[in-house]
Amino acid sequence: MDFEAEVGSIIEFDDGDSHRLAIVVDTVGKTKLVIHTADGDQMRTTEEEITFFLGSDSAGDRQRAQKKLAELDATVEGRRNDVDLEMAWEFVREDDEPMTARDLAELIFADDAPPTVLAVLRALRDNPVYFKSRRDGAFEPRADGQVASLRRQMEAEAEQQRERRQILDEIAGALDLAHDQRAATIEEAMGNHDGLRDAMYLLQDFAAHGQDFARRDDAVELLDELLEVIDIHLDGHMDQKAFYLMRELDLWDEHYNVYLHRFRIDRQLPKPLIAEAEEMAGVPWEPEEFRRDMTGWTTITIDAESSRDLDDALSCRPTIDGGWELAIHIADPSAHVDAGSALDEEARSRGTSIYLPTGSIPMFPRALSEERMSLLPERTRPAMTTLVIFDESLEIVDTEHFPSTIRVDRRLSYDDVDQMLTEGEEGRYGGLVQRLEFIADECHNRRTDEGGFSFDLPESRIVVDDDGDEPTVQVESLETNTPSRSLVSELMILNNTLVGRFCSRHDLPAIYRIQESPDQDLLDEEILAIPEGVARCFAQIRRMKPGDISSQPGPHFGLGLYHYAQASSPIRRYTDLICQRQVKAFVTEQKLPYDEEAILAMLGDMGRAASSATTTQRATDRYWLLYYLTNHGDEPMEAIVVDHYDDRGDRVSVFLTDCAYRSKCSLRTRVPVGESVQVVVDQCDPRRDVLSLRQAPQT
């Protein structure tokens, strides 16, 4: 403005968010003005922020100034509502001459008093359709085409505002209802209102993805607007507010798994596929002519007591020349599900079964994965068998891969097998288990000689029973190197290695597991200086490079092998099913279901599916572990220090031995790496993913 503000000047100023009226009551220095606003605020502003001068008046006291300004603002707004910019534009558009707000006030009202001019100026700011503002403060009429375009734009924006308001009103209306009515009300509204459905999905995605959500700004803007119209307080950061909004609407429960939402993992398979699977499970299976009958072999499964999808079985018998015949049987889902079928496409889209503390999410419907395909005892089942012939020195002299028909004689748990081996049980099953352990131990020793590594780290086993009012969580540390688990692991590694070699030798397109060598030795002086055990294992793991999948065979450092194609869990992993189908088609002289191009196309999909499943499993395990610690964290827990984060050693990483979980911890005294320390929970919040531990007080 081209005037010098004085005490008593009545002005309009820009506070950054809006234009407001005020009266100058004092000056501070050369540039600062002390003002009273129409809202009764006392503020400071500068002459650069003044947008209009309405005259002068006695400043008086704040109450008088506030009343005067409120009356003046009402007068301006009243005239603002009478401003007809379209009429003025129609009158002057052909002249194409710039006009000031005063000129337009005289044109529209035949009045150039300051309140009238300000009313026109506000109308011009609010509606830029008809006149374009210039740097000199004047306005020029727009061309006809510009006006038509801006009209459409303004109408679209107005419609968006009405749409947004309707969305906010529907959410607020649902929140005003009783809790037992909210979910049904908002779900019905979402079904009838596309905009509301999109808005709810936006907020749900924000709650699931967190602050890194690609559309975070859109979600925050919507939440900010919503928080202004609802009478409910939501805690936490904005993404957490979005989660708690879903809780208030009863769309999600307290323990809703946001990671399933993030990765679009549906707990339930489509109902038509479930029905198809159940119908298929009810039809007796007849072995094809090309299958070799292995039902005469004594065959066992070894798995966890809770497992339902049993996809591997073992047989072993001596040969007349002192050697052994080892048969590794892998369930054959392709006997029931054709490549490219609806069931197969659903399994491919999922990529893997997911095992959570609250239960499993199978890749195939349970009627197949836990019944028809599963190698249950005393059931005739289709399998793909790898037959390995050893001589008396346990050198492999021959291998064969073929479709088979098997019948599991007995299901054994890991505990059953450990007890058999500990007690030296003989007989049909005890002798078989001892033979299997003997072969597995030799395979392990040879892999180790070739540079393979195995890490003796316990795993956390978390089981959640959420049928009651409050979930019950059990957490235990599970040893992974028991004789039974090592036996099964080693023989599955053997199977996958031999299948990988077979695919490579016969140029069968397949998916291989590979792992590059670490940049540093895993047994150098620095590593060996760490006490043997958990701490040393973690130090070695930190040097390992991540594994990967490839369409070409390559070295797998951790296993000490070159050819390794996962093929031992086709019920649970789609990559294994791909490999199994290739081998089966080749040995039965059928067309390969996948060519090189198809394998390459699936690599990315399978990698993403595996990554999503792993992230979901780890995050869900952590959530329920934190929930468990929330209720048990005041009890001292034994932990092993596995790393120091600073030279002082008061910020460390510890491994909770009872939970088999690694976390950061604060110590009062320095504890060397590898030694035990008692810790307690300092802070724990499962929903906010917060866990901090501290050294337990000495007693």
Q: State the pLDDT at residue 7.
A: 86
CA angle centred on 690, ends 684 and 692, rounded to 5°: 65
Retrieve residue 324's tokens: 């052994």
| Residue 1 counted as domain residue | no
- Give the Cα separation of 80 and 75 in Å (integer): 9
- Residue 274: CB atoms within 10 A of its CB come to 16
Q: Is residue 187 part of a domain?
A: yes
Cβ(250)–Cβ(232) below 8 Å: no
- pLDDT for res 15: 85
Same domain flag for 176 and 302: no
pLDDT of residue 38: 83
User: Residue 17 has what pLDDT?
Assistant: 83
Question: Could you say which of 124, 145, 166 is where a domain stops?
Answer: 145
Amino acid type, 103? D
Whether 4 is covered by a domain: the verdict is: no
**The pLDDT value given to residue 390:** 96
Whether residues 167 and 140 fall in one domain: no
Cβ count near 427 (within 10 Å): 9
Range of the domain at 656: 633-695
* CATH number, domain with residue 642: 2.40.50.140
CA gap 575, 567 in Å, rounded: 7
Buried-state track 18-42, b at ≥16 Cβ within 10 A, e below 16: eebbbbbbeeeeeeebbbbbbeeee
112-136 pLDDT tens trace: 999 999 999 999 998 999 999 998 8
**Those residues with Cβ within 8 angstroms of residue 90's Cβ, 6 or more apart along the chain or in another chain:** none
Q: How far apart are CA 242 and CA 210, in angstroms?
A: 9
**Whether residue 308 sits in one domain with residue 440:** yes
> Dihedral of CA 583/587/592/596: which sign?
positive
Residue 129 lies in a domain: yes
| pLDDT lower than 70: segments of the chain | 1-3, 58-60, 633, 647, 649, 699
Q: How many domains does the chain have?
A: 4
Q: Is there a domain that residue 492 lies in?
A: yes
> Cα–Cα distance between 593 and 582 in angstroms, integer?
7
- Cα 410 to its chain centre, rounded Å, is 39
- Closest by CA position to 324, among listed 187, 207, 481, 443: 443
Query: pLDDT tens across 126-178, in order?
Result: 899 999 999 888 999 999 999 999 989 888 888 888 999 999 999 999 999 99
610 with 649, same domain? no
Residue entry with tokens 């939440």: 223
412 and 374 in one domain?
yes
- Evaluate the CA torsion angle 672, 676, 677, 681 in order and state its sign: positive
Are 641 and 614 part of one and the same domain? no
Judge whether 208 and 261 are in contact, CB under 8 Å: yes
CB atoms within 10 A of CB 88: 23
User: Are 384 and 244 members of one domain?
Assistant: no
Same domain? For 195 and 229 the reply is yes
Count CB neighbours of 610 within 10 A. Answer: 16
Task: Give yes or no: residues 518 and 551 share one domain.
Answer: yes
- Based on the domain organization, do 227 and 298 belong to the same domain? no
Chain mean position to CA 613 = 9
Q: Which two tokens stand for residue 469?
A: 């009012």
AA identity, residue 419? Q
Q: Is residue 3 in a domain? A: no
**Dist. CA 605–CA 614, nearest whole Å:** 14
- In the prediction, which pLDDT does 633 show? 65
pLDDT of amino acid 3: 64
Q: pTM here?
A: 0.82
Query: Does 225 lie in the same domain as 123?
Result: no
Q: Does residue 383 sit in the same domain as residue 504?
A: yes
- Contacts by 520-528, CB closer than 8 A, 24 or more apart: 522/453
Q: Where a domain ends, among 110, 145, 180?
A: 145
Q: Which residues are paired to 478 by β-bridges?
A: 459
Of 120, 145, 170, the position where a domain reaches its end is 145
Inside any domain, residue 263: no
624 within a domain of the structure (yes/no): no
Q: Which of 631, 658, 628, 653 is nearest to 643 (CA)?
A: 653
* Tokens of residue 354, six digits: 């997911």
